[in-house]
Chain A
Amino acid sequence: MSVLTITFWVLAVWAITSAVLVVHTRDIFRAALFLVSTFIVVAGFFVILGAEFLAVVQVLVYAGGISVLIIFAVMFTREVAQGNQPNRYFGVGLLLAVALFLVLSFTVVSTNWFPELHDTAEAEAIASGTFSDTSRGLGTLLREKFILPFELIAILLLAVLVGAVALVKER
């Protein structure tokens, strides 16, 4: 077993454990902390997959920004004492989630992802996976081919900023 494989399994167990704890911890504040843990593990997966720029973005935006927003919302709404109770559709939700997971894993396992690629030099080249400089390529790509969605995202974020201020403003 290579180092990457061992790292992958450690991260996988950690990710699924903390994801279950996000849903199942009674204290909502602790659930938010487990959510931060899940975000950081997913950043670890990004590093394994050679997307180091996205790993940094993940830690900055999710573990840094979104989790702070969620913890602020937990603090503002004083229902922390009531905890994290299940609603009426507890059983239906569990059933649907298990069914979805079974369908997804069946699809993943039964699909032949690399039709003519098994045990070839190409497959080896993918599997060895070098750590490349992706931020330069991403920057060029965002500025050249994806410039319109990039600008639209900027407008969206501005609209969200205005909308959020308008929503929580004191009358």
Chain B
Amino acid sequence: MPPLEHFLLVAAAIFSIGLYGALSRKNIITVFMSVELMFNAVNLTAIAFAKFLVPVWSNRFLFGSELSDSIKEASDIALSGQVLAIFIIAVAAAEIALGLAIVIAIYRNRGTIDITDIALMKK
């Protein structure tokens, strides 16, 4: 099994590539794709932490005093990182659906999806 640091480094690389894409592209859809890359990196980090760090806690709970309660609590704690990832996925799906609807509305009104041209608030 590769150590935790390797997963975190891959996630950091994907997040940085996503940030670079979100900051440096003209097309609004590419910006959205970069934001999705960043969401994926965050999910990867959450699950890597849930895998590597939380079982230490759950082991402590397992070897604690009341065994019957603590087994349940331990598995709950061990899985809460994955629950966080599920909520991130749901919110990301909501964000992309609404965002692309806004993109299509902008395209219909202004005929462009170049983010350097959509500068109504600057004028």
Contacts and interface: CB of A to CB of B under 8 A. Distances in A.
B16 A69 contact: no
Is the interface on chain B under 10, 10 to 19, 20 to 34, or 35 or more residues?
Answer: 35 or more
B67 interface: no
What is the interface of chain B mostly: helix, strand, loop, or mixed?
A: helix
Given A85-B25, A122-B59, A141-B83, A98 B5 contact: no
B94 interface: yes
Interface in B53-90: 53, 55-56, 59, 75-76, 78-80, 82-83, 85-87, 89-90
Interface residues of A, number: 87
What is the interface of chain A mostly: helix, strand, loop, or mixed?
A: helix
B104 to A, nearest CB: 5
B86 A87 contact: no
Contacts of A28: 27, 29-30
Interface of B: 1-10, 12-27, 29-30, 32-34, 36-37, 40, 43-44, 47-48, 50-53, 55-56, 59, 75-76, 78-80, 82-83, 85-87, 89-94, 96-98, 100-105, 107-108, 112-116
